[in-house]
Amino acid sequence: MILMVRKMVMQMSKVTDQCRDIKELNILVQVLLNLALADIRKQGVNPLIVETYRSQERQNYLYCQGRTISEVTAKGINTTFATAYCCPRASKKTWTLNSVHKSRKAVDIVPQRMVDGRMTAIWNAKDKETQIIIQTMEKYGFEAGANWSCNPDSPHFQIKGDFTTSFMQNRNNKYITKAIQKALNKKLNIKLNVDGIWGIKTREAVNKFRAKQDYPFQNNGKLAKKALKDLFV
């Protein structure tokens, strides 16, 4: 009986608990996030990682908040799960069952500071420190949920794209491409058009940077972990 209870508690924990471990993220997202966090701290802001990787079960759990059993089962969540976790009176936590958190390419961050003698997370998109976080995360190629026209989400930052261990042509998105183009301009003292399109000129600039750093395979047009870090530092 005790073992059964422990198993149930552990299962519920997997569904309800947030993962805040940066190492659970895609390796390229880790590199950019760590650079961004260091930059944010230099600006005097204390960032709090709220969530990184999210399982489908946890995404389903969040979708159940603020919705009825019939609403969530209509979206494909099974009745047993819906019965256990639906809470119509709660505020809605998410608008999707397919968050970028599941692909290990998203993170939620808010500032934290002392308020009335207590360290407090600040959930305010207009807060000055929140704005510093948003601007800095964008600098490192993250798409800011605060800028979405539909259902804005100020703590949310993501790097969508078909990439695994390197950024390259057709394995990126406009946000990270713009950040890379700006960084290439700074590192190489060139005037690459910052348009979010990874075309021939961007590929040539990547190869020029690779050659300058004396990397092996200087013309492969890729930015992997080391190259990405070297580009942004």
Q: In angstroms, what CA-CA distances link 93 with 1, 7, 60, 63, 101?
A: 34, 26, 10, 6, 14
Whether 174 is covered by a domain: the verdict is yes
pLDDT surpassing 60 at residue 3:
no
Residues 136, 215 within the same domain: no
- Give yes or no: residues 136 and 196 share one domain: no
> Is residue 12 very low, low, confident or very high in pLDDT (cuts 50, 70, 90)?
low
Q: What are phi and psi of 130, to 5 degrees?
A: -60, -40
Whether 11 is in a domain gets the answer: no
pLDDT in tens, 23-72: 999 999 999 999 999 999 999 999 999 999 999 999 999 999 999 999 99
Q: Are residues 110 and 29 in the same domain?
A: yes
Same-domain pairing of 129 and 49: yes
Residue 105 shares a structural domain with residue 46: yes
Alpha carbon distance 220, 203 (integer Å): 9
218: which residues sit within 8 A by CB, 6+ positions away? 207, 210, 211
Is the distance from CB of 73 to CB of 128 less than 8 angstroms?
no
Is the pLDDT higher at 31 or at 6?
31
pLDDT tens string 134-179: 999 999 999 999 999 999 999 999 999 999 999 999 999 999 999 9
| Residue 186 and residue 121 in one domain | no
Helix spans in 43-162 (H): 56-64, 69-73, 79-85, 128-139
Domain that holds residue 217: 166-232
In this structure, is residue 22 part of a structural domain?
yes
Question: Same domain, yes or no, for 185 and 156?
Answer: no
Domain membership of residue 12 (yes or no) is: no
Global pTM value: 0.92
Whether residues 226 and 122 fall in one domain: no
- The predicted pLDDT at position 13 comes to 63
User: Pick the residue with more confidence: 94 or 8?
Assistant: 94
CATH number of the domain at 156, please.
3.30.1380.10
Residue at 6 is within a domain: no
Residue 124 in this model has a pLDDT that exceeds 60: yes
